[in-house]
Amino acid sequence: MSKLVTDSGIERDNRKAQVNREILGKRCHAGRMRRLTRWSAFVNSVLAVSFLLGFAATKLRAQNPEWTAPFPPFRIMGNLYYVGSKDLASYLVVTPEGNILINSNLESSVPQIKASVEKLGFRFSDTKILLISHAHWDHDAGSAAILKMTGAKYMVMDADVGVVEDGGKSDFAYGKNKSNWYTPAKVDRVLHDGDEVKLGGAVLVAHKTPGHTRGCTTWTMKVTDNGKSYDAVIVGSPNVNPGFRLADRPSYPGIAADYEKTFQVLKSLHCDLFLGAHGGYFGLAAKYDRLKAGDKTAFVDPAGYAAYVAERQGAFEKELARQR
SS3 state of residue 9: helix
Task: Please state, in angstroms and as integers, the Cα–Cα distance from residue 182 to each residue in 167, 171, 175, following that order.
Answer: 5, 12, 10
Task: List helix spans (H) across 110-232.
Answer: 110-119, 137-140, 143-150, 161-165
Shortest CB 59 distance to Zn ion, Å: 17
Indicate the residue among 79 and 209 with the shorter CB distance to Zn ion.
209
User: Segment 132-191, which members bind Zn ion (CB under 5 A)?
Assistant: 136
Task: Please state, in angstroms and as integers, the Cα–Cα distance from residue 298 to each residue in 90, 240, 274, 282, 310, following that order.
Answer: 18, 28, 10, 11, 21
Beta bridge partner(s), residue 96: none
Stretch of residues binding Zn ion (CB under 5 A), selected from 13-21, 70-78, 131-139, 177-185: 131-139
Q: What is the DSSP string of 17-63?
A: HHHHHHHHHHHS-HHHHHHHHHHHHHHHHHHHHHHHHHHHHHHHHHH
Indicate the residue among 139 and 287 with the shorter CB distance to Zn ion.
139
Q: Using CA of residue 40, residue 42, residue 46, residue 49, what is the dihedral sign?
A: positive
Q: Is 312 in the site for Zn ion (CB under 5 A)?
A: no
Shortest CB 89 distance to Zn ion, Å: 12
Shortest CB 277 distance to Zn ion, Å: 7
Shortest CB 103 distance to Zn ion, Å: 11
Indicate the residue among 86 and 136 with the shorter CB distance to Zn ion.
136
Task: Indicate the pairing of strand 217-225 with strand 80-82.
Answer: unpaired
78 to 117: interface string for Zn ion, x by CB under 5 A: ----------------------------------------
Shortest CB 111 distance to Zn ion, Å: 22
Indicate the residue among 136 and 287 with the shorter CB distance to Zn ion.
136
The count of residues interacting with Zn ion (CB under 5 A) is: 1
Separation CA 32–CA 299 (nearest Å)? 71
SS3 state of residue 229: strand
Shortest CB 2 distance to Zn ion, Å: 13
- Could you tell me which of 207, 266, 276, 212 has the C-alpha nearest to residue 239? 212
Stretch of residues binding Zn ion (CB under 5 A), selected from 50-58, 128-136, 177-185, 310-318: 128-136
User: Cβ-closest residue to Zn ion?
Assistant: 136
Indicate the residue among 117 and 240 with the shorter CB distance to Zn ion.
240
Indicate the residue among 60 and 149 with the shorter CB distance to Zn ion.
60
Instruction: Give me the residues that bind Zn ion (CB under 5 A), please.
Output: 136
